[in-house]
Amino acid sequence: MKPFLLALLIGALSAFAFAPVGLWPLMPLAIAALCELIWRSKSLRQTLAIGWGFGLGQFVIALNWIATAFTFQDAMPAWLGWIAVVLLSLYLAIYPGLAAGLAWRFKGKTPVPLVLTLAGAWPITEWLRGTMFTGFPWNPLGVTLVDTHLLNAATVIGTYGLTILVALAGGLLWLATRKQWRVAGILLVVLIAMHFLPWPQTVATQARNIRVIQPNIGQEDKWQQGFAEEASRRLAALSIKSGGPRPRLTFWPEAAVTEPLQDQRTDEHQAFAQYERARAAALVGPGEYLLTGGLAVFSRDGRWIAGAANSIFILGTGGQVVARYDKAHLVPYGEYLPMRPLLSSIGLSRLAPGDLDFNSGPGPRTFEIPGWGKVGFQLCYEIIFSSEVIDKRHRPDFIFNPSNDAWFGRWGPPQHVAQARLRAAEEGIPVVRSTPTGISAVIDAHGHIVASLPWRTAGAIDATLPPPAPPTLFARLGNVIPLLLAFALLIGGIAMSRTRR
């Protein structure tokens, strides 16, 4: 089999290391096989094609949930979804291709420089993937370790550091096949040492009761005309049902209320928004608050819409707005249409209903909930960006991450939860997720799931909000440590390759 096709197959198999399958040992095995292909490659051009093929196979399989989103969009045919997956993967695969190319260029005469260079280059290219063109850091290699004890290393080296460990584990396996026992043994000791890094101790806080709502409202129903009343009924029924101690904070999903909760247009529009807030907050008792996703509509002249925001509201009794957070990191094609004049002229549109692009918010903010502590917000997709999820000057006690994963099939929701777990472990801050169809979860400050609701199940989670940990080393320094480690490995591999020539 040609090296490119073999790399494509290996990459496709490696996708099953990610959730929902979660066969994490597949990833080190795939990296080991990739090392062998790079070692045997005859040219830089062939190696770039090998790395690109590996990435292409991995992304096409792992990102299949994107194709599902197109099945909910009447304006575009469903088959266009798979074209979108392939086109996106063709671009994303450039980054592992670059990592493979660097590993081949500085592989030297022995296998060791190749392993070091690849382990250094891979997280650097992942970081670039999460930064360039608004960034798409979905499914870094490190996320495959969320169900292993190596997750604790994220408190120091973060997600990209976990990627280094996955790459080194694959390199270890390959070096063993090449009988490089000494270096393989050193790498094994490093992995074992990382395994035993201690978890930070959480800070004891007053018990705070929460209820997380999952109404099981599918994307096929959510925006149907007249369905808002049914959605309101389901949310209210789950929110007020007996059970669970009170007072409590109640959490609803992203855009749980499809009508605007704030509207700057006419008095009539403002009154209707007030009605929607009051109806949503009718379940809120004294000293309680509702945290919900909703829409804010802006107007310059009090008549016409000048913009809108995908927002999170903290609502008190009577629908009083305690605070509002506007999503900052918007999803291309989901919340705005890039190059709108060109793309709309050829019939393309946003995947989410409506032709109005959302306005971008100012970024991570921390809000005080009277009597309940500090909350940080990350709306849906925003939670996947390592070291960008909190206002570091005003550290929150927990992060609320409402999302709408209802249109992302079976693979998208568990992958999203896995990345939320990484953010909790990195920052030492618990994360609360509420979604329409799942997976809703309460995640502690170590990245472990305390309670959750399965996909496509209606229900409510009654839990005590997990306490935060003191700021982790990663929380203080962000991606400085993993990127320094990555560059050290890259430079070390380059230096070793030149020395051994």
The catalytic residues are 254, 327, 380
Nearest to 408 by CA among 94, 38, 92, 71: 71
Are 401 and 379 in contact by the 8 Å Cβ rule? The answer is yes
DSSP letters of 346-401? TT---SSSSSPPBPP--S--EEEETTTEEEEE--GGGGGSTT-SS-TTS--SEEE-
Are 35 and 54 in contact by the 8 Å Cβ rule? The answer is no
> How far is the C-alpha of 6 from the C-alpha of 26, rounded, in Å?
15
**What angle, 0 to 180 degrees and rounded to 10, lies between the N-to-C axes of helices 181-195 and 111-129?**
40
List Cα–Cα distances, 75 to 221, 222, 224, 345, 471, in angstroms. Answer: 16, 17, 15, 13, 47
Are 367 and 400 in contact by the 8 Å Cβ rule? The answer is no
List Cα–Cα distances, 214 to 59, 233, 417, 455, in angstroms. Answer: 29, 13, 14, 9
Residues near 417 by beta carbon (within 8 Å), at least 6 away in sequence: 19, 433, 439, 441, 443, 449, 452
Q: Is the dihedral of CA 480, 485, 490, 491 positive or negative?
A: positive
What separation, in Å, do the N-terminal and C-terminal C-alpha atoms of the chain show? 31
> How far is the C-alpha of 106 from the C-alpha of 495, rounded, in Å?
9
> How far is the C-alpha of 288 from the C-alpha of 236, rounded, in Å?
15
Q: Strand 366-369 to strand 373-377: parallel, antiparallel, or no bridges (unpaired)?
A: antiparallel
Amino acid, res. 187: L
Helix then strand count (H, E) for the chain reads 16, 13
Q: Is the dihedral of CA 22, 25, 28, 34 positive or negative?
A: negative
Are 214 and 457 in contact by the 8 Å Cβ rule? The answer is yes
> How far is the C-alpha of 168 from the C-alpha of 152, rounded, in Å?
17
Block residue for tokens 């050193």: 186
Are 228 and 259 in contact by the 8 Å Cβ rule? The answer is yes
> How far is the C-alpha of 179 from the C-alpha of 7, rounded, in Å?
23
Nearest to 69 by CA among 501, 427, 413, 407: 407
